[in-house]
Amino acid sequence: MTLVAGVDSSTQSTKIELRDAESGALIARAASPHPPVSPPRSEQDPMSWWTAFELAWEQLGSPAVAAISIAGQQHGMVVLDSDRRLVRPAKLWNDTESAADAAWLVKQLPAGAGGWAEAVGSVPVAAFTVTKLSWLHRNEPDAWSRMAHVLLPHDWLTMRLTGNLTTDRGDASGTGYWSPSTGEYRWDLLDIIDRDRDWTAVVPPVLGPLQSAGAWGDVIVGPGTGDNMAAALGLGLGPGDVVISLGTSGTVYCVAVNPTHDATGSIAGFADASGRFLPLACTLNATKVTEMARRLLGVDHAELDRLALNADPGAGGLTMLPYLDGERTPNRPQATGVVGGLRSDGTREQFARAAFEAVACSLYDAYQALAAACGPQEGRLLLVGGGARSSAYQQIVGHVFGRQVTIPHDDEVVATGAAVQAAAVLTRTDPSTVALHWGLGTGSPVRPTASFVAAAAFDRHRYEDLRDATVGW
């Protein structure tokens, strides 16, 4: 049996899957946590990612594998000096300190947001690497002067394995300075930040889906990719399918044959890890909202689900706006949460359900933006991420969307997708073909009732009213 390894280095932890390269059969899994972070300043020492990788690898018995690929949290800024030593902690995707830089960068192009969307498929927001570079230039001149290389989180881990500086088209498309349409860096956009730099020496070369980043001893190392791109591979995502990912943040995305350019900034026009494209909408607040509700109610996760499902749809008029730590879709980096419809007869059940409905409505907003940019997506609606294990999320997302939800049987789809990429590079086979051969993306359906769907449609309007009333808060 030939083994491949897929690594998921997320904000919270490093997870590793071992799979049979031919059949895709899962052989073993391991995980190790990362230090917690808390926006608006959200930073981690990349060495903690490497330590977590080593611990998880040891849990697996340091196995003999033929190939390995690393998927990582997108957008994070890892800055190295000329000796490839870390200059400062990595600024992560959910760090919102660069919100002012995002607004400033948009104004630097004559066509504004539309010009950025045309150039790189996306409009800068605080999550993107380009805004973090601008923040670093403005706030930490010593670190800026020492910077010789800038990498994304998965790039840095790949470098630890191979000694090479590389990235891939999927993760590069989330930087804000690489164009999915042309497959080239936009040096003019980086020059906005610092015209005196030789940017060609700072950013890494972009590898294609089947190119190797190098070797880790005798092990072939794939190019790696961003977490959402890997998840698409791990789900065997096809045309018309939509993924809703419920983690600390939420994402809604699909695959596309052609690149997208959304001047509103709601949709990020990413590339994927197979040679296609991955238009995506992201929310900063997903399971952190229900986790907040769980802490306030003093219950465990099972009891929170029970409370929410024991309340009627609409939570008795209690409506929550879930922008706890700022928001990306819509772009409100300084926002906080809002609760409306409080009454003296309010219950714990209503509060629990309002939290779940708020997240589901926020994700529905993201889906509406995706459909506006790419057309209706009428295939499978796949629910993934840690929140997908929640019976309340399974029911309430289906109610709010008015569609059947599919819960994939494999719940670590990012690590699975990285393993798909490793097998694809090893066998020189298209990653989508590998995913199809492995039979990925099958799952259990959760069908909402018609009466609940009708109620949810009304409750979405109440949510939208609260959302629109708080513009500018």
What CA–CA distance (Å, rounded) separates 46 from 254? 30
Sign of CA dihedral 241, 461, 248, 309: negative
Among 233, 280, 271, which Cα is nearest to 416's?
233
Marked catalytic residue, from 227, 262, 305, 365: 227
CA distances from 396 to 24, 50, 122, 187 (A): 32, 37, 30, 45
Is 20 an active-site residue? no
Structure tokens at 88: 């400062």
What CA–CA distance (Å, rounded) separates 361 from 468? 13
Give the CA-trace dihedral at 108, 109, 115, 119, to 10 degrees: -80
* 307-332 residues labelled b (16+ CB within 10 A) or e (exposed): bbbebebbbbebbbbbbbbbbbbbbb
Paired residues of 14 in beta bridges: 9, 32
Contact 459, 314 (CB under 8 A): yes
What CA–CA distance (Å, rounded) separates 156 from 262? 30
Among 372, 9, 402, which Cα is nearest to 224's?
9
Structure tokens at 292: 């907040």
Structure tokens at 357: 């409905």
Can you tell me which residue has the tokens 């997506």? Answer: 377
Cite the active site residues.
227
